Chains A and B, each alone.
Chain A
Amino acid sequence: MSDETTASAARATAGAIGHGTLVDPRGLSARTDRAGTTRPAVVRTLAFLRKLYGLVQRYFPQFLIAGIAFAILKVYANGGLTLMGAQIKNALVLGAIYALVAIGYTMVYGIIELINFAHGDVFTLSGFYAFVIAGLSGGAIGSLATHSGIGLLLALLIIFPTTMVAAGFTGVVIERVAYRRLRDAPRLAPLITAIGVSFLLEGLMLVIFGADNRPTKLSSWITGRAVRVAGVDVNWKDIFVVATALGLMFSLGAFVRITTLGKAMRATAQDRSASLLSGINVNRTISATFFIGSALAAAGAIVYSINYDLIQWNLGYQLGIIAFTAAVLGGIGNIVGAGVGGFIIGVISVFGGQLAGGEWSNSLVFAILVIILTFRPVGLFGVDVTTRA
């Protein structure tokens, strides 16, 4: 007889309590919980906090809208209609740019679940594309744009497609070279690669275009005041920025909903293998997604240049993070959400800056990011992914 069997035999004879049983008899006795006793203050506070958390989580959009409405009214009370109007205008202009960039983040996340950190830099690079294209043949496009109304239209018809296509191909190349091989790798690998691509693009722009901000000379394209509402000068430029952004976003929405490619994108986002077996070329669909996202960032860069007349190698870094916040706010993966999120972030940035001081603008935006991730990680529209790409 081996030692082991002796030991187990000894245990068996020792009775029910001991290491020989699977069921610990102590666990079989009746138990009472501590519910009957009075709970200490800490526990009560925690319970209250948990309730509060649940409340905020449940009514997050309502809280957000109430907060924004309060901020707008507060500005109205402090500075009157003119200030409120001027800041709404500023918020819309800024929000339009954020929205255009945010869509790229959301589309790429939707389809391959990657936070494409290089997207902000694609925005910057597109600004330089526009800068270079506008400067070709001695700034011929620029002089065309400032020459007459028709000239401006022609110039816009040249600069938008060329820049957007160039940016689109940049996005496609980035996906092909840096992300495709890692599509089935653990999530962290493509994420780190994305950060690497971001640094690479920033470095390239720094070397090629220098460290200083460069005037793009696009601000002279669209000038003049369109209307004056309640003492607020609304310039053609402002209208152009917002109209371009809204126009592009609605076109994209329709594109994704109606066209075959759009359907393929949504299908790929939802089930990649089922899409493959429905005859969808998933690689090409993903390329198309990068193309469209980057092209929209390029549109954002052009309207940015027209509005602010500058571009700098690291511009997209911070702007990208803010746009990413907008995408998360709207529900990452949701195109409509990204658009709405962009405008909401614009409002938060401007009205927060007005009320709390400009130095708090970015802090407020990132505080919103933390709050969303805590209370509503799916974002405002996360649940309804009807237009998910």
Chain B
Amino acid sequence: MALMEINNMVKRFGGLMAVNDVSFAVDSREIVSMIGPNGAGKTTAFNCITGLYPITTGDVLFDGRSITGQPPHRITRLGIARTFQNIRLFSFMTALDNVMVGAHSWMSAHVWDSVIKSPRARADERRVTDRAHDLLDQLGLSRYAGAYARELPYGLQRRLEIARALATQPRILLLDEPAAGLNPQEKKELMALISRLREEGLTIFLIEHDMRVVMEISDRIVVLDHGVKITEGRPLEVRNNPQVIEAYLGHGAAERMADA
């Protein structure tokens, strides 16, 4: 059964159709990639799914229920976490605090508990701190726990963002170009991490430009061009689809490639 279903999603900015009638589904424990040339509407689709942008028309179903129109923090609490293309950590907070902020979503304590420091809030905070340390530990970031996020090396900032997303206890993780700016070694580690997350039961939906990464880890690939979904399928199918080649390399490219 599909964990996340996008039905006829449209996002219009004035006269620009950023996302035009896109539908697809992501199954549970699947790794699905979304590819497409720059400006194809991939990040816009992410923003619509996570509630940052209101959807013009269409529907997003999560676990069979519509989440369209819900505020972002509630969508996050339902189990959709994401990272950003340009890393958006809280740079003036420590790595540990960044992860703890992510853990905010599943805390049972309310504002008042927090103010008066009720036993519930204390228990919560202990759990959150333990969990945050655990996450940093597993992602090899524990020695940076006390460092400001902005002081971390770039590759580790990417990983810290994933740690923050994981702290929200997601069911599906949306990664926006997680491999961007990483060196080959880091890319390898990233792919291992993504596979491990899937092993542990997480569903992954990512935007990625690096075809090697995409082809290697994806179960399925969705291709967007000019806001329209042009195809969807297994890596090998997509790789040989003339429409995809055309979208990336321009008109006539498919024939030329076939000739070559």
Contact = CB atoms under 8 A, between A and B. Distances in A.
Interface of A: 255, 258-264, 266-267, 270-271, 273-284, 288, 385-386, 388
Contacts, number: 93
Contact of A273 (B88, B107, B164): B88
Interface residues of B, number: 39
Interface stretch (B54-62, B77-85, B246-254): B77-85
B4 interface: no
17 contacts: A260-B109, A266-B90, A266-B97, A270-B90, A271-B89, A274-B84, A274-B89, A276-B72, A276-B76, A278-B168, A279-B102, A279-B168, A282-B73, A283-B71, A284-B111, A288-B111, A388-B92
B80 to A, nearest CB: 9
B125 interface: yes
B83 to A, nearest CB: 9
Interface in B88-144: 88-93, 97, 100-107, 109, 111, 114-115, 117, 121, 124-125, 128
B235 to A, nearest CB: 28
Contacts of A288: 111
Contacts of A271: 88-90
B50 interface: yes
Of all A-B residue pairs in the complex, the 10 with the closest CB atoms, nearest first, are: A279-B105, A276-B72, A279-B76, A274-B88, A261-B114, A270-B90, A267-B101, A278-B102, A281-B73, A279-B168
Majority SS at the chain B contact face: helix
A283 B91 CA distance: 21
A278 B71 contact: no
Given A273-B72, A280-B101, A260 B125 contact: yes
Contacts of A274: 84, 88-90
Contacts of A277: 50, 52, 72-73, 76, 81-82
B111 A278 contact: no
Nearest to B164: A278
Given A264-B101, A277-B50, A280-B101, A270 B73 contact: no
Nearest to B169: A279
Contacts of B92: 266, 270, 385-386, 388
A115 to B, nearest CB: 21
A279 B77 contact: yes
